[in-house]
Amino acid sequence: MSFNVDLTNCDREPIHIPGQIQPHGFLIVVDSDFIIRYHSENVSDFIVGLPTRLLGTPLDEVEYVLYPNEQTGYISQLITLGKNTKTFEQINPFQFELNGRDYYMIIQPVNDLYLLEFEPVTAEMSVDMQRMIGRSISEMLADKNLQNLLNNSAEQVKKVIGYDRVMIYRFAPDGHGEVIAEAKNHDLEPWLGLHYPATDIPRQARELYKLNFTRLIADVNSIPSKIFTLADGEPQPLDLTCSQLRAVSPIHIQYLKNMEVSSSFSISLLYKKELWGLIACHNYTPRYIDYKARESSKLIGQILSSALEFRQDEENQQLQDHLFNSVEKLSKHMQRSNSIEDALNAPDANVLDVTYAKGAVLIYENNTIKFGTVPADDDLARLLEWIKTDVTDTFFCTDHLSAKYPAALAYKEVASGIIVSTISKEMGEYIIWFKPEQLQHITWAGNPEKPVEIDSNGLLNISPRKSFEAWSETVTARSESWSNEEVKAVIRLKEELTYAINQKASAIRLLNEKLKQAYEELDTFSFTISHDLKNPISVIKSYSQLLTRDASIRPEAQRVIDRIIDRADKMNYMINEVLDYSRIGRSEIDFVNVETAPMLNEIIKDLTMVYDSAKLQVTVGETPGVQGDPVMLSQVFSNLLSNAFKYSQRSDPQQVSIEGKATENGILYQIKDNGLGIDIKQLPKIFELFNRTDNVKDIEGSGVGLAIVKRIVEKHRGKIWVDSEPGKGSTFFVEFSNPV
């Protein structure tokens, strides 16, 4: 009895048809409870004796018709096994006999469902495939030459699946493809070398090729079988992404029909998980190949992919080594030479060698150096203007410059492709590489510009191209594309260049140091001047004092004279300080071991006598010795401690502490108070000569102490810094580095 799918009278009518499959097999979909949720309309064409209602029925109940020889529950067990081991690879395909014919069942998990796809086993394929594959592969790999490897692979696939035409089709970066190897029946015209526009294999189709490595369209003229499901609720569209039997899009069917192809089979070729190409097989009569044959050709595809990957890697490595070698040479030159320009233009390597470009320019420090073939000066100047305004990235690369900058069309023979590596945008410094136009005579299979056609109803229709006469097109204004290796080498050169420039900047810093030394010599000058000033000031003071002896002097005049004496004293004090400061600049340090404990005790003893001892809390922690000049070191501590006392005199309790400790760099002292603190904005200035903060104007001081301290500390190869918060207090840190 043959079951007829006619459930139109049923209340649970299967009206929702989420998709279709190719009719050479049939499909049953179960959920995780093994209840049938979907099935293809054509089940009854294959199986006799099915229950009248399949949808919603437990799989167990139909299993006896499917596999009369197996025990019930067998498929559920297989599914459970696959689910537990997380792979159906070991299980697929499961072979069984139905109505005297052998079938494969392929289980595919999809979300919470399991697709059970059934397809016939073909007798002609049941030869010892394993042996055949083994032989094919060794023949395939026998040749070292890449083209021969591709040709052999096409031949071997043709042998395994017996199609009329087997092509190896490679995708270009823009998505269009080219037939790069072909094995075909003699009576067919060759398609080797033909190019197909990117629209022929749209993006979503290419994504599917990455998921499913083989795809069979057994007969373009067959009528697909619908998939039924129950109409209750919102039926989920059935995801057929991984289905073996998935029906073909009508556009693709039309495309194949236009080519007079009846059956097509393709195997994905991947390079680093990306679709590199396809082994595309065409047959001019319907042709079905079973799962095992498809799997075997998939294996050939995988082996070819890895062979290609290996070869490509090897080739890329060689290219890379060659370019990196040049970068390395340039980098060495940059280290040795004082001039970056000279280094990048050495006899054994120059900028041009970093890529396979035909020309390059280096624009650096107002010089333009040209290598190889580059645009004329005017054109170059205008191109540079465009780069300055329109190229925002530090690295820019194109093989079709005129598409972005149309003026470049005028010199496409020189610069159809460019790489711009920015050294400094502010300074307008760049390295630019140029590749000439590479005239590509592409033989298109049909006119690639006309994928859209008006159909018989006058509607715009995306229909595959009907004309397959070779159509020649010349792609102008494009260069050979820049390889990853070239890009990497350019980026690497940029890194090396930046490093070298920074190093040169250090050389400038060195010059700066010398300048500083010269500056310090000026100190000597100020010393002399200050010294010479001391004398007239003491004369002013003496004469003023003489005047005060005159008893007849008026009180107002007396006050003026007192102020003169006071200012003269202040000036004298300041001159002494400046003398101190410049003395440090001039003197060489004789490093000796200095015991700091007695020195600090002495300083603190003097200071505590000046301040109110009742509220004063002085803490002295560890006081490790320091290497240096004892007099100068005493000046450092004395200045820092007296500031700590001075600027915390209004705090109650007044807390001052000092402690030192060994660090990995040397000896670190910290002098802490709970006084006025310093505003963060004024912090950097306090070490400058005569600089005083706004909050201490009413406290006596000259603003020289910290400048002296800093000078001494730096002379001792040390560092000084401060941590402070207004109103809370300050901590000065002095680190004396270990002697070298």
Segment contacting ligand ADP by CB under 6 A, of 164-172, 216-224, 246-254, 698-706 = 698-706
Q: Is residue 705 a contact residue for ligand ADP (CB under 6 A)?
A: yes
d(C-alpha 38, C-alpha 40), whole Å: 7
18 and 29 Cβ atoms separated by less than 8 Å: no
- Least Å distance, CB 659 to ligand ADP, is 16
With CA atoms as reference, report the closest residue to 166 among 145, 177, 150, 148: 150
Q: Is residue 639 a contact residue for ligand ADP (CB under 6 A)?
A: yes
361 and 369 Cβ atoms separated by less than 8 Å: yes
Q: Is residue 644 a contact residue for ligand ADP (CB under 6 A)?
A: yes
Identified binder of ligand ADP from the candidate list 319, 547, 703, 719, rule CB under 6 A: 703
With CA atoms as reference, report the closest residue to 675 among 642, 705, 704, 719: 642
Instruction: Give whichever of 287 and 672 is closer to ligand ADP, judged by the CB atom.
Output: 672
Whose tokens are 């070779």? That residue is 470
Identified binder of ligand ADP from the candidate list 702, 715, 719, 733, rule CB under 6 A: 702
Task: Give the 3-state DSSP-derived string for 287-322, with helices as H, strands as E and coil as C.
Answer: CCCCHHHHHHHHHHHHHHHHHHHHHHHHHHHHHHHH
Whose tokens are 């660090």? That residue is 663
Q: Is residue 678 a contact residue for ligand ADP (CB under 6 A)?
A: yes
Residue 466, Cβ density class (10 Å: 0-12 exposed, 13-18 middle, ≥19 buried):
middle
Identified binder of ligand ADP from the candidate list 75, 269, 383, 706, rule CB under 6 A: 706
Q: Is residue 701 a contact residue for ligand ADP (CB under 6 A)?
A: yes
- For strand 460-462 and strand 452-454, is the pairing parallel, antiparallel, or unpaired? antiparallel
- Least Å distance, CB 684 to ligand ADP, is 11
Q: Is residue 704 a contact residue for ligand ADP (CB under 6 A)?
A: yes
Instruction: Give whichever of 11 and 700 is closer to ligand ADP, judged by the CB atom.
Output: 700
- In the structure encoding, which two tokens stand for residue 613, read together? 């001892």
Whose tokens are 């500390």? That residue is 713
Q: Is residue 300 a contact residue for ligand ADP (CB under 6 A)?
A: no
- In the structure encoding, which two tokens stand for residue 149, read together? 């490897």
- Count, residues near ligand ADP per rule CB under 6 A: 22
Q: Is residue 670 a contact residue for ligand ADP (CB under 6 A)?
A: no
- Least Å distance, CB 705 to ligand ADP, is 3
Residue 246, Cβ density class (10 Å: 0-12 exposed, 13-18 middle, ≥19 buried):
buried
179 and 185 Cβ atoms separated by less than 8 Å: no
- Least Å distance, CB 513 to ligand ADP, is 24
CB atoms within 10 A of CB 491: 15
Identified binder of ligand ADP from the candidate list 119, 496, 673, 735, rule CB under 6 A: 673
The residues, ordered by sequence, that sit 6+ positions from 222 with a Cβ below 8 Å of its Cβ are: 22, 23, 24, 286
- Least Å distance, CB 677 to ligand ADP, is 6
Q: Is residue 719 a contact residue for ligand ADP (CB under 6 A)?
A: no
Identified binder of ligand ADP from the candidate list 170, 675, 713, 735, rule CB under 6 A: 675
Instruction: Give whichever of 220 and 676 is closer to ligand ADP, judged by the CB atom.
Output: 676
Instruction: Give whichever of 101 and 728 is closer to ligand ADP, judged by the CB atom.
Output: 728
Identified binder of ligand ADP from the candidate list 676, 713, 720, 734, rule CB under 6 A: 676
d(C-alpha 231, C-alpha 327), whole Å: 67
- Least Å distance, CB 724 to ligand ADP, is 7
Identified binder of ligand ADP from the candidate list 582, 643, 655, 674, rule CB under 6 A: 643
Q: Would residue 689 be called left, alpha or beta, if left means φ above 0 and alpha means ψ between -120 and 50 degrees?
A: beta
d(C-alpha 15, C-alpha 666), whole Å: 86
Segment contacting ligand ADP by CB under 6 A, of 9-17, 350-358, 484-492, 688-696 = 688-696
Identified binder of ligand ADP from the candidate list 159, 450, 692, 715, rule CB under 6 A: 692
Instruction: Give whichever of 301 and 675 is closer to ligand ADP, judged by the CB atom.
Output: 675
214 and 289 Cβ atoms separated by less than 8 Å: no
Q: Give the interface with ligand ADP as residue ranges (CB under 6 A).
A: 639, 643-644, 647, 673, 675-678, 686, 691-693, 696, 701-707, 730
